[in-house]
Structure 1
């Protein structure tokens, strides 16, 4: 069952409704909504969205198991995560304005559901959700982003799209189609084993990738590669992998897009915080312990992606050095195959939601807040050197103190993993540390490492430097790619030696001057002899450039001679140069010769140094000086030189003083800048909080607007309902003040529109002396409804009801008085009573005994003459069966047959004899079927006629 996490902020309500209107109720997916809600306001989002979908929409609760075809909405002021398909709610840890609830949930969704996770980002401001989509994408899930052109606020969609974490960019109404298609395709793939045609198509794609990019992905796990190929196929609506392979051949750009898709750039700052805590407390202090002040700490982060992990290690290292009170030179290399990821890492600019992973203290200390997010400070960026490298086939770095390769090998087959572990061992110094992710291990290479922390996968090299550190099953690609000669050939070549070679070496050592071989830039390639008298390492960053390493006084001549040799090919031979070294003036002869052989020495220059001959007195031989004129000139020049030196010294001292003042001013400006930066950070924080509050208010406003529209619709329905039922209604509060009334109520009370808010006692009614206000007070006190028929002075009759007015919270807040016009019913009842009176008068005037029976032969009416002749009362006959009259004397089979069988077939009968009903009297019964005009009820009329006495 795919679980779809949907995130939105400002303007998300309309997008939610549009999205769910196009989803069927049986999609077999679960949906979890994470909008930005006001923590102090009760959300009505569930009520609003329930109108847009037939699926149940409920507010999420803690420990609720997510079910398919259900929609869950995060409650206000709660963080939400997913663990084994169960929602976990907690109170937010971060302050308002710094929370990233969408990122937090999407990350947990990706970690819990892997390829069954789907992330959707809809309208909103900021960048919340971007890092969550990256995690879902890296775990093989699907990511959808709303087209910014259709979003009310395009900040969140644009951030996700620019970061490259959107597999589909669509308007909300088209997302349902993509989700359903992906779900169907995933079900087919899971239930169908790979066919030979599928395997063949996959191999064709691997060959096309290797041919176009030079990188072989055949050693990657097939499930990982397959999911990403399927995503690209779904993007182009291609279902057959052979068709997609042919599409790749025809579209070279698609190969590059697929190549980028296969590069898994899933990382974050301080991923697995406890592992980095172990790195800080245990591992790095052990590495740095006992190291000299000039020690260079070398570290390598392989598969660095966008650089978060490399910068995390750099920050940890900086903190450790500060805690130790020592400063080491750091060389931290971070490499990856993806050039786009390396470009992001070099820029060091990350979205604002990294605050979920980086503590506020580290954000303040190591980052600078900018418009687009947070940028790593320059001193940390300068610690890291980023480079593009294929760790599988390119040679590794060497002499490393720490190698970190986390969550790279989990995507590789076992064969590549077995090649990488020895390569990392080769890269490490004796005692160096390998840092892996909790999901990775050194496999079958336990002889190369000893475990420092099995939980967080820190390993120390176990064999000494003199041992063979390249214990591999085959020759590494980075060795075979560098040389085509076999090792045996190389060794044999090195052993070849003869007398001529020994003689050549002896002559070079005895007679060749001190020399260096450089390229055209002056960078030293080879050194012959002791160059300490002529070259020395300059202070600052290390260099091997001969011009930069030359002593003062020699640099100018060397640079000029090198330039002449490079640009014009003219050698400089035996040029005498004087310079000062160790307080002593030295004189040498400089030679700079470009190599003439264009094949062997193209782009190379030979620089040689000869010491000039010295006189027996220890001074350098020179020509005898001239006469007195020359000596005077020399003295004058020496005086000028002394004066110039004095002036130069004064200028230097003034310059130094100015430099100190400028340095002091610069420190003050720097202090002011830090204060301004701190103020700016506080303002940025306030801005973020205000922006967050604004987003929440926009969401609340959208909900309230939808509620207003709903209430408006309900009010229209209520108005039409009250107008069409023709019932006068007056709504009164607990002080009997008019709240609202209908137009029919104006026929009882003389009400106009301006009477709302006035006491009802101020309004004259048309009722005949009926005090309804006192009854209303009684209803408020006792909560017992009151009902009465009342008459107006115009002769109209109304059924008046007074009932308590209850709010949604079941609070009594007044009464409701209704008036239902019953004039027609009263007139009908009066007419019926009048008709009954007339009928009774007629029957009494006739003077014959009569009975009216219902369909069950029970007596409905007995005339006075019947009661008189048979000596019974009305109460004794009414409602009783005719067969029970006179103690059952009327119950005869003949009468039953007459009433139950014969009379239904005939309209009437006459002359049925009733004997001994009364002593000494005989009667004849006559019967007729009649129908009540009012109710349509079938009745029987029995007439009783006394027979005259016989002769």
Structure 2
């Protein structure tokens, strides 16, 4: 075959010696053979998975060695379908056997049976709908909530909440299982799950499959280590280990790659420093394999011969990580969206994990990383990931390799990261009749009836009033103009500072906060109004506050002539009381000004961060424009080449 030939049906393509092929934009491109172990099927299968995604199908037939075993894992990770020839019918069973051993093979059949199954799959609605240009929502239409029902069954069986995954990811995983089982609709699959509990385990395994390999993007490791130099020097001075965490580590290739590269870095720097690397995942089978450190011979395609000799031991059928490297790596089960994180880390390497999570889960996970890192810690993400939802927590230090530095700001960590409880998000939501609203009202009524007969309001974490209790008119003074339910805009001016102060203290814990409040004029009387704030947590991260107003009546006076006449010691006592009152009011005014200044500074900092993000986005846009310009030039060059080829063909036709 020639380089760049278009793929057509009913054709068999044979590659020239000492070459491999990759699929690129519907064409087969020849790739010169690299030194070392030659694995052309792995190379082609990986490109097929990358280009075709869930439409990729890989078939491993008779052959020696283990070529294809890495490729079928890549295809399955992209929700494609994989076949292996039954060893009983294979002249050489090495390749089918190695592929089956990966656990990534869907069908083990004879060649004739494989042909029939391929014909059936080609007509399956999921594969047909997964063609380019078809919206993801049309791939598996779900008007009756069957997908939610499926996820609920999986969660009950595995204790893992996959509703936090992106819907498109879930659809591809479920659709893949439907193709394997010859089921056409989500309703059919949901019913099958109820009848066949073992399928819950198969779907669970499919949901956890991720493609990984040794030394992905090796230049990224080099960039990370350059950024890590100051931390290494600091650890050397303190005689402390360097600590790294790889969440979503799957079968451990990323963990061991980091361990090897950090070890090499230490040797280059001529320093001795203990290394601790934590690899976590929610898949126990993947973690078991990672702990063993056993990998097939096909890893030679990703690991250099020098590293294989230095950091691996040759075993039957493949390689095992050396004891020296295994001893600095710890593997443990950890649910990134629920479990507490590690701490005092220098690096978190979370590449290509966030892409599977929805925006809500990402907003919870990124503060977890911020909490886990040292003040000078680094976060490394995948090429399609960013910290956009947590720009206040991380600063970009290497745009090319997606490396971020931890900012020295407080962490918004919420240890209870469950997302199963419905919650109120805005005052408007309270007008509905959802279960969370009803639950909130009932709970508030119980608290009030048990402890108070008060005048009170309920506010959310943004201090928006969502419910009134009792007679609150004496304490609230709505401003003219557009309606605004913000408590600080509605409460009387003298109560602004004590209310703000009490809510701030209540937000720091679960205790009830009491504040002496201030003097408020109510119906012509100066009354001492106290504030009591009770935090209410109704599941999830949202908090509510019950704010109760209490008052004590003082003697009325409106003008200086109405002040009580002092006689003897009584007058002195009255004067002292007025002085104390003035001092307290002055102190409250100063505290209010300090609070306003702090808020102004915080807003200014947020504005600076937003400007940095905008500047960063502008630079990325300029970079994209440059890439588009380069692509345009390449297309023009390709058009010129095609024109030349057409002219040559035309000349040959005339000669013939």
TM-score range, shorter chain: 0.5 to 0.7
Aligned to 1:121: 60
Of 4, 14, 17, which aligns to 1:76?
17
Query: Within 5 A, what are the aligned runs for 1:79-90?
Result: 79-90=20-31
Cα distance in 2, alignment partners of residues 199 and 418 from structure 1? 29
Partner of 2:101: 162
CA contact (8 A) 2:63 2:96 kept: yes
RMSD: 2.6
Structure 1 portions without partners, runs of 5+: 1-59, 481-485, 497-951
1:147 aligns with 2:147: no
Corresponding residue of 1:457: 402
**Aligned mates of 1:198, 1:158 — CA distance in 2:** 42
1:145 touches 1:169 (CA, 8 Å); kept in 2? yes
Deviation at 1:331, TM superposition (A): 1.8
Shift of 1:91: 2.5
CA contact (8 A) 2:129 2:138 kept: no
Tell me how far 1:461 sits from its aligned partner: 0.6
Does residue 290 (structure 1) correspond to residue 290 (structure 2)? The answer is no
**Pairwise CA distance, 1:248:** 0.9
Whether 1:100 and 2:39 are equivalent positions in the alignment is yes
User: Deviation at 1:462?
Assistant: 1.6
Aligned positions of 1:527-538 closer than 5 A: none
- Superposed, which structure 2 residues align to 1:184-195 within 5 Å? 184-185=123-124, 186-188=127-129, 193=138
Q: Is the Cα contact below 8 Å between 2:146 and 2:186 reproduced in 1?
A: yes
Q: Distance in 2 between matches of 1:117 and 1:409?
A: 23
Note the C-alpha offset of 1:344.
0.4
Q: Is the 8 A contact 2:347 2:377 kept in 1?
A: yes
- 1:297-356 C-alpha deviation (Å, 9 max, x unpaired): 111000000000000000011011111121122221100011000000000010011111
Q: Which residue does 2:356 correspond to in 1?
A: 411
Determine if the alignment matches structure 1 residue 131 to structure 2 residue 75.
no
Deviations 1:841-877 (A, max 9, x none): xxxxxxxxxxxxxxxxxxxxxxxxxxxxxxxxxxxxx
Of 152, 155, 172, 1:210 maps to: 155
- Secondary structure of the corresponding residue to residue 298 of structure 1: strand
Match of 2:412 among 455, 470, 474: 470
CA shift for structure 1 position 134: 0.7
Question: What is the correspondence of 1:799-814 to structure 2 with a 5 Å cutoff?
Answer: none
Q: Give 1:76 deviation, angstroms.
A: 1.9
Question: Which residue matches 1:254?
Answer: 199
1:66 equivalenced with 2:66 (yes/no): no
Looking at structure 2, the residues matched to 89 and 194 of structure 1 have their Cα atoms a distance apart, in angstroms, of: 33
1: CA distance between counterparts of 2:285 and 2:292? 11
Specify whether residues 428 and 81 from structure 1 end up closer, same or farther in structure 2 by C-alpha distance, changes over 3 A only: same
Q: SS of the counterpart of 1:289?
A: helix
Q: Secondary structure at the match of 2:404?
A: strand
Q: Matched residues in 1 for 2:80 and 2:297: separation?
A: 24
- Decide which structure has the larger Cα Rg and report it: 1
Q: Offset of 1:196 from its aligned partner?
A: 6.3
1:198–1:166 distance in 2 versus 1, CA, 3 Å: farther
CA distance in structure 1 between the aligned counterparts of 2:358 and 2:510, rounded to whole angstroms:
37
Q: Which has the higher helix share?
A: 2
Instruction: Indicate how the Cα distance of structure 1 residues 306 and 415 shifts in structure 2: closer, same or farther if over 3 A, else same.
Output: same
- The DSSP-based 3-state class of the residue aligned with 1:301 is strand
Query: What residue in structure 2 maps to residue 173 of structure 1?
Result: 112
- Structure 2 counterpart of 1:347, from 292, 315, 319: 292
The count of aligned residue pairs is 425
Using a 3 Å threshold, how does the CA distance of structure 1 residues 317 and 195 change in structure 2: closer, same or farther?
Answer: closer
SS in structure 2 of the partner of residue 72 of structure 1: coil
Distance change (3 Å), C-alpha of 1:195 and 1:310: closer
TM-superposed deviation, 1:104: 1.3
**Distance of 2:198 and 2:292 partners within structure 1:** 26
Secondary structure in 2 aligned to 1:73? coil
- Corresponding residue SS for 2:390: coil
**For the residues of structure 1 that align with 2:245 and 2:307, how far apart are their CA atoms?**
22
Distance 2:510 2:30 in 1: 71
**Relative to 1, partners in 2 of residues 1:420 and 1:169: Cα closer, same or farther, differing over 3 Å?**
same
- Kept in 1, the 8 Å contact 2:140–2:186? The answer is no
Are residues 331 and 165 of structure 1, via their aligned partners in 2, closer, same or farther at CA, if it must alter by over 3 Å? same
